[in-house]
Amino acid sequence: MRLRTLESFWLLKNGLLHSYPSLQSTISTDIAVIGAGITGALVSHALMEAGYNVILIDKRDVGQGSTSATTSMLQYEIDVPLYQLAEMIGEQNAALCYRSGMEAINQLEQTVSKEKIDCGFQKKKSLYISHNKKAAQWLRKEFDIRNKYQLGVQWLSAKEVKDHYGIHCFGAILSNTAASVDAYKLAHELILLNVKRGMRVFDQTDISSFDFESEQPVIHTKDGHTASCNKIVFCSGFETTEMLKEKVADLFYTYACVSEQDIPLNKNLKETLVWNTADPYIYMRTTDDGRLLIGGEDSSTNFSFFQQRTKEKKAKKLVEKLQTILPGVDFIEDFSWGGTFGSTKDGLPYIGVSPEYKNALFVLGFGGNGITFSIQAMDIIPDILNDKHNKLTELYKFGR
């Protein structure tokens, strides 16, 4: 019998790296960040760098939300293709969003290198492959507009992709800028680094209510303690949708599985993230311990009762689809898991102030490149707090 769990690969691989006390006193601070996932880790790091007194609160342990389920492909490419985004928000704005994704990946590389964080960060290329002839036509159009905005792209014919990667497709865009990382480990290490610099972290802290109306917002815990601050920054992931009247995203469930170690692969795949034009799309990347990680197969049902069985079916389907892309690949599944995922109407995140709450800011980096959006919030949130203009706030604002 082969036993499986619904836990993600990252959690099993790393374990609980660091643990913190729950909030058991009355405290005050400049900024309270809610949510100790990758978003809270990145944003609290930026706020500490900017000189704020920061506390970080989570109702679970660090990284136990989506951060332990992510496949952590860091892409500048948004789920909505550039040519379509251009029709929605204008060409210049759309190109700005795409370019900001590239800057975010480079920014994270600098942070990881400056702070010497061991989190498997690897700069890669990204290959966007067409899954049929029709898709190849719009992908070519997508290539033209990306090329016009000098996003570092190259068009590869079906033969070139086959020769170079062993992948079957109908043409592809190869992008120079992408990366992969262990986001769970990165979140833990970044939080620990800032704890050493004076940030206070409270995990397993259940919040009973927020008082936004007083001059200083107050956080009340179920244990009867309070934290007052000047601003609350919500980095609380998909659960945040439950506190917003504005419908910012459609939520669904998505699946991933990872092969055994040392899977024989074309060497060029080790340096490249791959995703395709199907809807839902399938994507893959290698891990730094020699596995192939594949994901996709989204579903709208999310009943916990069916999750284990659904996960097994979806993992099987993912491997079948992989065979059509990488014929002959010897993928033996080691772990599979599922997690909540979200998509917004334009593929862009919601970062900034919501008119529904006073004294609060939100960082909701939904979509296939949620983490790349969270990195962008490292500049946007301090800029908003300092009343400094940021070219992205208008595009990522609530109520758009």
- Give the nearer residue to ligand FAD in terms of CB position, either 239 or 356: 239
According to CB under 6 A, which one of 101, 217, 365, 382 is a site residue for ligand FAD? 365
According to CB under 6 A, which one of 17, 27, 195, 207 is a site residue for ligand FAD? 207
From the list 11-19, 128-136, 307-315, 361-369, the region that binds ligand FAD by CB under 6 A is: 361-369
Give the footprint of ligand FAD on residues 44-63 (CB under 6 A).
57-60
- Give the nearer residue to ligand FAD in terms of CB position, either 58 or 142: 58
Cα 177 to Cα 32, 83, 293: the distances in Å are 33, 19, 19
Give the footprint of ligand FAD on residues 15-44 (CB under 6 A).
34-40
| The Cα angle at residue 16 between residues 318 and 206, in degrees rounded to 5 | 100
Binding of residue 126 to ligand FAD (CB under 6 A): no
Binding of residue 296 to ligand FAD (CB under 6 A): no
Q: Smallest distance, Å, CB 1 to ligand FAD?
A: 26
Q: Smallest distance, Å, CB 374 to ligand FAD?
A: 6
According to CB under 6 A, which one of 81, 295, 347, 352 is a site residue for ligand FAD? 295
Give the footprint of ligand FAD on residues 319-348 (CB under 6 A).
339, 341
- Give the nearer residue to ligand FAD in terms of CB position, either 35 or 81: 35
Binding residues for ligand FAD, rule CB under 6 A, total 37
Please identify the residue of the shown chain whose CB is closest to the bound ligand FAD: 370
Quote the CA–CA distance of 235 and 233 in Å, as a whole number: 6
State the binding string over 147-186 for ligand FAD (x if CB under 6 A, else -): ----------------------------------------
Give the footprint of ligand FAD on residues 210-269 (CB under 6 A).
235-237, 239, 254, 256
According to CB under 6 A, which one of 102, 191, 249, 371 is a site residue for ligand FAD? 371
Q: Smallest distance, Å, CB 164 to ligand FAD?
A: 23
Both tokens assigned to 155: 């068009």
Q: Smallest distance, Å, CB 247 to ligand FAD?
A: 18
Q: Smallest distance, Å, CB 144 to ligand FAD?
A: 26
Q: How far apart are the first and last CA of the chain?
A: 52
Binding of residue 122 to ligand FAD (CB under 6 A): no
- Give the nearer residue to ligand FAD in terms of CB position, either 342 or 382: 342
Secondary structure string (H, E, C) spanning the chain: CCCCCCCCHHHHHHCCCCCCCCCCCCEECCEEEECCCHHHHHHHHHHHHCCCCEEEECCCCCCCCHHHCCCCEEECCCCCCHHHHHHHHCHHHHHHHHHHHHHHHHHHHHHHHHCCCCCCCEEEEEEEECCCHHHHHHHHHHHHHHHHCCCCEEEECHHHHHHHHCCCCCCEEEEEEEEECCHHHHHHHHHHHHHHCCCEEECCCCEEEEECCCCCCEEEECCCCEEECCEEEECCHHHHHHHCCCCCCEEEEEEEEEECCCCCCCHHHHHEEEEECCCCCCEEEECCCCCEEEEEEEECCCCHHHHHHHHHHHHHHHHHHHHHHCCCCCCCEEEEEEEEEEECCCCCCEEECCCCCCCEEEEECCCCCHHHHHHHHHHHHHHHHCCCCCCCCCCCCCCC
- Give the nearer residue to ligand FAD in terms of CB position, either 55 or 384: 55
- Contacting residues toward ligand FAD, per CB under 6 A: 34-40, 57-60, 64-67, 69-73, 207, 235-237, 239, 254, 256, 295, 339, 341, 365, 368-372, 374
